[in-house]
């Protein structure tokens, strides 16, 4: 019934009938497509992105698992790529629009209600974001020379951030909060937005090892710990390096995109995004290690164990 009530194409409806589906903790109905969980509302956007998005060699795609710091990275990459016009001017787009309006998402925004949006007015280099797993990317993204910047975060903070975010959205919609234990169980068995979390991270981690000039792999924790070095690394990767002996231009971007600065802007405190979600929900604490205030020691141990089992052989640590 929920699926029937959604505004979906016939093709999408047909496909959903053939996919494993269940009730999600972030959506009444979710579907396992190409090994990852998607909510009904985004399925048309996923299919249209795969079929119709044509990457250009000069494109930059910012890819994340939800709640890994997408909002932060959107602001940082926009400021990096728009340095020539970057100034203290009050007209700067990040002062007037949410980072999610400045850098649009493919499958959850541009393509969600429009199978073939007109992207011709976007200036080069085009910057888009996506949560799609590596194996579900449109063919042209892989075959072109476009660059992918991937950001993930330790699974304990990612889960906690996701749980808080989904509850805020649910409370706004009068759906009531999700019990944490239920959401946690599902997260652990891989059922989360664009999850399994570990498979998502591994897909991009392996791609970054195999194609280091195409895929850059970043961690939220590293960005917090050594922001200047990490932003310099990203700038070098994108072909717009900072000069070696000057930290001030790097620091200027970091200050502009800091949690304090962005979260205090009127444009990020009030109003809703294209999908009806409050802009302020994208700014909660912005800290590393907040899981300690939310997860029991047993829950933390369980997530650590899964992460160790899945990642340690590959040298990936959180």
Q: In the complex, which residues of this chain contact ligand A3P (CB under 6 A)? A: 64, 66-72, 157, 161, 164, 257-259, 262, 282-286, 290
CA distance 87 to 7: 42
Residue 8 vs 78, nearer CB to ligand A3P: 78
Name the minimum Å distance from CB 299 to ligand A3P. 16
Query: Within a 13 Å sphere around the CA of 146, how many CA atoms are in the beta-carbon half?
Result: 25
Q: Which of these, 56, 54, 62, 215, lies nearest to 123 by C-alpha position?
A: 56
Name the minimum Å distance from CB 95 to ligand A3P. 14
Residue 64 near residue 50 (C-beta atoms within 8 A)? no
Residue 15 vs 273, nearer CB to ligand A3P: 273
Going through 251-318 in order, the beta strands assigned E by DSSP cover: none
What is the CA 38 to chain-centroid distance, rounded? 14
Q: Which candidate in 31, 38, 100, 131 is catalytic? A: 131
CA distance 162 to 267: 22
Residue 30 phi, psi (nearest 5) = -135, 160
131 carries an active-site annotation: yes
Rounded to 5°, the CA angle 11-46-6 comes to 55
Name the minimum Å distance from CB 117 to ligand A3P. 22
Name the minimum Å distance from CB 51 to ligand A3P. 26
What amino acid positions are annotated as catalytic residues?
131
């Amino acid at each position: 019934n929920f699926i029937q009530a959604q505004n979906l194409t016939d093709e999408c409806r047909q496909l959903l009938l053939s996919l494993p589906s269940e009730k999600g903790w972030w959506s009444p109905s979710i579907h396992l497509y190409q090994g990852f969980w998607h909510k009904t509302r985004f399925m048309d956007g996923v299919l249209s992105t795969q079929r119709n998005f044509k990457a250009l060699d000069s494109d930059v795609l910012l890819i994340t698992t939800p709640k890994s710091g997408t909002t932060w990275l959107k602001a940082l990459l926009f400021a990096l790529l728009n340095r020539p016009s970057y100034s203290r001017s009050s007209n700067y787009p990040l002062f007037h629009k949410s980072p999610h309006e400045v850098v649009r998402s493919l499958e959850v925004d541009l393509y969600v209600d429009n199978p073939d949006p007109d992207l011709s007015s976007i200036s080069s280099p085009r910057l888009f974001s996506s949560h799609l797993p590596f194996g579900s990317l449109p063919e042209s993204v892989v075959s072109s020379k476009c660059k992918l910047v991937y950001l993930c975060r330790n699974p304990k903070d990612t889960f906690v951030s996701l749980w808080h975010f989904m509850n805020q959205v649910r409370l706004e919609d009068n759906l009531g909060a999700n019990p944490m234990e239920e959401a946690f169980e599902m997260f652990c068995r891989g059922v989360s937005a664009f999850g399994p979390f570990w498979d998502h991270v591994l897909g991009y981690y392996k791609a970054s090892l195999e194609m280091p000039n195409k895929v850059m792999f970043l961690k939220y924790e590293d960005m917090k710990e050594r922001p200047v070095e990490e932003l310099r690394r990203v700038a070098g990767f994108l072909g717009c390096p900072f000069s070696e002996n000057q930290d001030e231009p790097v620091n200027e971007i970091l200050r502009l995109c800091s949690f304090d600065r962005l979260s205090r802007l009127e444009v990020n405190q009030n109003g809703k995004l294209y999908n009806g979600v409050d802009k302020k929900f994208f700014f909660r604490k912005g800290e590393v290690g907040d899981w300690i205030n939310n997860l029991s020691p047993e829950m933390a141990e369980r997530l650590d164990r899964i992460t160790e089992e899945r990642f340690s052989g590959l040298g990936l640590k959180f």
